[in-house]
A and B are shown apart, each in its own frame.
Chain A
Amino acid sequence: QSALTQPPSVSGSPGQSVTISCTGTSSDVGSYNRVSWYQQPPGTAPKLMIYEVSNRPSGVPERFSGSKSDNTASLTISGLQAEDEADYYCSSYTTSSTWVFGGGTKLTVL
């Protein structure tokens, strides 16, 4: 199972919006709405930010939103804040009954 494809890095200034893409195949992202996004600041465990494509867990700011089109999912962070600087990973359930993660995207807040 190949990793989902994410851009290695994105950046934005405070207050701006950034979008991180996550491209898979018809065997994972394209088959299910079981795409989730995780935030991982350096040296810490991942934290769930978005589940089932576009749902936010309690406590996650509304600035974080998710979407999906065909084999590509996206995470958008609007009104960037310094505290958003972290690595972000997408993940998807697959038709092989396994999970696959993206390679990760480092978000830099300028």
Chain B
Amino acid sequence: EVQLLNSGGGLVQPGGSLRLSCAASGFTFSSYAMIWVRQAPGKGLEWVSGVSGSGDSAYYADSVKDRFTISRDNSKNTLYLQLNSLRAEDTAVYYCAKNSGSHHKYYFDYWGQGTPVTVSS
């Protein structure tokens, strides 16, 4: 059974940093691309970032480019998202999701439960 367990969210001040984690199980982690999607309170879904199965290729939404960094440790079956220079508008629930193939151009077939990030002073 595929499982994605999000963690690492919390309350952080503007300009601060946070690292989110997504622990994966039930599939060959290194064979699949992974993504992060966020959802601001009462708002829709926003794609944030994606990484290939090998970790060699990463992609970002313009809204987070140069502030967020996606990475993965295939030996630990874990996906990460490093959030720097956080702003109030980054407040959201962050979900990790599994792509259906090794490249992030494939659809997302499994999602984590989400971890909330609140940016406030």
Which A residues form the contact surface with B (CB < 8 A)?
Answer: 1, 3, 34, 36, 38, 40, 45-48, 51-52, 57, 89, 91, 93, 97-104
Q: Can you list, as one digit per residue, whether each of B67-106 has a CB less than 8 Å from chain A (1) or not (0)?
A: 0000000000000000000000000000101001000111
With A89-B45, A104-B44 in contact, is A99–B50 under 8 Å at CB? yes
B59 near A101: Cβ-Cβ < 8 Å: no
B61 near A3: Cβ-Cβ < 8 Å: no
In the assembled complex, B62 has its CB within 8 A of some CB on chain A: yes
Q: A3-B44, A104-B45 are in contact. List 5 more A-B contacts (CB 8 A).
A: A34-B107, A51-B109, A97-B104, A101-B37, A102-B44
B107 near A46: Cβ-Cβ < 8 Å: no
The residue from B35, B46, B112 contacting A45, defined by CB atoms under 8 A apart: B112
Complex: A45 Cα to B78 Cα, angstroms: 19
The residue from B44, B59, B97, B111 contacting A98, defined by CB atoms under 8 A apart: B59
